[in-house]
Amino acid sequence: MIGIIDYGMGNLGSVSNACRFLELDAKIITRKEEMDSCRAVVLPGVGAFGDCMGHLVEHDFVQAIEGWIQSGKPLMGICLGLQALFQRSEESPGVPGLGIFEGTVKRFDLPKELKVPQIGWNRINEVQPDCPMFDGIENGSFFYLVHSYYVCPSDESIVAGKTEYGIDYCSCVWKDNVFATQFHPEKSQAVGLRMLKNFWNWAEAG
């Protein structure tokens, strides 16, 4: 079963609907204890970094997520769920992230002709060709994004995909049992659904 973590802010409906369309065994979980019955979890999120971390603390999910990852169980982060995995964000100075990955979340500083936030479809160029989440997905496929901030990992080896929007930035990461995306697979039509199914297959094979 895939647990979709509900900590008070996130794109729960669209993720849940996508899993239901794919006939995946998934449920929204609101308490850390419910993670025990899951084989994999999804950490979604929309909104501000500081609010996200505050809600994770309030709902007692911080240590649960850290323990989950340390135990080697599969986790997928989506949008703000990717950013929360890093140490800090320029959006909320002084607020620590989960610190699963070293690095900072930075705000786009782009020419005036490029709007911030970036809203719409853009190409994801694979960096790790052996990443199982891209199985059956053509390199350079378009995914849907809505964001003003992007992650800057200290360790380039975790970068799984990059996107060009004024700069060439990291749009997804993969290391061991953690895969996370800045884009929204659940809103990216056929390729996004394929990625969610790939996550399911990956979790089942683990």
* pLDDT (average), residues 153-157: 97
The 10s digit of each residue's pLDDT in 119-149 is 999 999 999 989 999 999 999 999 999 999 9
Q: Yes or no: say if 192 and 146 are a contact pair by the CB < 8 Å rule.
A: no
Active-site amino acid positions: 79, 184, 186
Q: Name which of 97, 74, 75 is nearest 87 in CA terms.
A: 97
Work out the pLDDT band at 64, boundaries 50, 70, 90.
Answer: very high
Give the separation between CA 145 and CA 46, rounded to whole angstroms: 11
Q: For residue 201, how many other CB atoms are within 10 A of its CB?
A: 14
Sequence length of the chain is 206
Q: Name which of 184, 193, 80, 78 is nearest 122 in CA terms.
A: 184
* pLDDT (average), residues 42-48: 91
pLDDT for the residue 129 = 84
> Strand 167-175 relative to strand 159-165: parallel, antiparallel, unpaired?
antiparallel
pLDDT for the residue 46 = 85
The 10s digit of each residue's pLDDT in 82-97 is 999 999 999 999 999 9
Domains delineated in the chain: 2-205 (3.40.50.880)
Tell me what percent of the chain is helix, strand and coil, each rounded to the nearest 5.
30, 35, 35
Q: Yes or no: say if 14 and 82 are a contact pair by the CB < 8 Å rule.
A: no
The 10s digit of each residue's pLDDT in 99-123 is 999 999 999 999 999 999 999 999 9
**What is this structure's pTM?**
0.96
Model confidence at 12: pLDDT above 90: no
- Distances from the Cα of 1 to the Cα of 11, 72, 176, angstroms: 19, 16, 20
Model confidence at 66: pLDDT above 90: yes
Work out the pLDDT band at 47, boundaries 50, 70, 90.
Answer: confident
